[in-house]
Homo-oligomer: A and B are copies of this chain.
């Protein structure tokens, strides 16, 4: 056990992967000499050399495209996209090549590529630096998508992602990079919880709250706050966004009968839509109220001084919980329709 920040936990995980498999190579902009703009790869180039930790030219399609070629050659590239908003130039290589080549080659060509993406807001950054693009990738067959929320998971999950023979989008909640916690860096990876399995981060009885990444901490805080109010929230940290561990989510909803999904990404077509749709299909008879989504607005990420009015926070989560529980909430004040959804077009 060592107490590490989330950033350092990923660093430690990368180091272990580099040590244990010499086909693992890290690629990205500024990841070598600088150690990454978030220092996640700090020290790795010095220790493993410029052929294992590769500073690349400034071209995201180039990074992903050469990673595909390296995968053809039997390497396991781990690429860093410097910020969420810079993944789009690589979208074609990810969606048309990385995601599809195993299928297109009838299983002969593996794409064990890990794409690390610092994601989400909450750090007062400039535009294009706070995006939550995960739903694009969750909708793309052939990819796996995960998000870590804490150092212990991050340390394990990055190694699992690298070890996976499938391409993995690995989302890192940048606003939690500096949060410290114990990491079982002495434990065996074989015993670890599989990357695809969700965690019940806090058990509860009244409502199931599903989230991931940077908002898990906020959700846990909301659970504590609600407890004082007599409401018991079960917080599920999804960890895997594609595929979703529906078994865990649905088991919880069958007990609580109520669902709130929370994420920073916009509501329309966000991951919450999938989870609500799937739970509704599978647990219809168990639902005591309409599932609720608490999400970022469907707007481009706003300027820094407005981000607190975009991101779900503790109060908005609790308001969503109140909606799920049929308690007084922001929409119940002037109900226009029995569903409490008052402003239909």
Contact = CB atoms under 8 A, between A and B. Distances in A.
A277 B291 contact: yes
Interface string A130-156: 000001101101100000000000000
Nearest to A299: B141
Nearest to A345: B247
A285 B300 CA distance: 33
Given A104-B127, A284-B289, A344-B282, A269 B268 contact: no
Interface in A270-308: 270-274, 276-278, 280-285, 287, 289-293, 297-300
A271 B274 CA distance: 9
A180 interface: no
B292 A281 contact: yes
A170 to B, nearest CB: 18
Q: Range of interface residues on chain A?
A: 35 or more
Given A141-B299, A298-B141, A277 B272 contact: yes
A299 B103 contact: yes
A67 interface: no
A49 interface: no
Q: Which of A88, A99, A246 has the most CB of B within 10 A?
A: A88
B91 A85 contact: no
B128 A270 contact: no
A264 B200 CA distance: 34
Given A138-B269, A266-B141, A276-B276, A341 B242 contact: no
Given A136-B139, A277-B291, A300-B104, A247 B96 contact: no
Given A136-B139, A273-B274, A284-B290, A300 B339 contact: no
A95 interface: yes
A74 interface: no
Nearest to A242: B268
Given A103-B299, A345-B245, A274 B281 contact: no
A127 B299 CA distance: 33
A342 B117 CA distance: 35
A339 B85 CA distance: 40
Shortest beta-carbon contacts, A-B, top 9: A139-B269, A88-B92, A284-B290, A91-B91, A276-B277, A273-B273, A273-B277, A100-B300, A273-B274
Given A135-B269, A273-B276, A284-B289, 17 more contacts: A88-B91, A96-B128, A99-B300, A104-B300, A135-B139, A136-B136, A138-B268, A138-B269, A139-B139, A139-B265, A139-B269, A243-B345, A276-B276, A277-B291, A281-B290, A281-B293, A281-B341
Interface of A: 61, 85, 88-89, 91-92, 95-96, 99-100, 103-104, 127-128, 135-136, 138-139, 141-142, 242-243, 245-247, 250, 265-266, 268-274, 276-278, 280-285, 287, 289-293, 297-300, 337-339, 341, 344-345
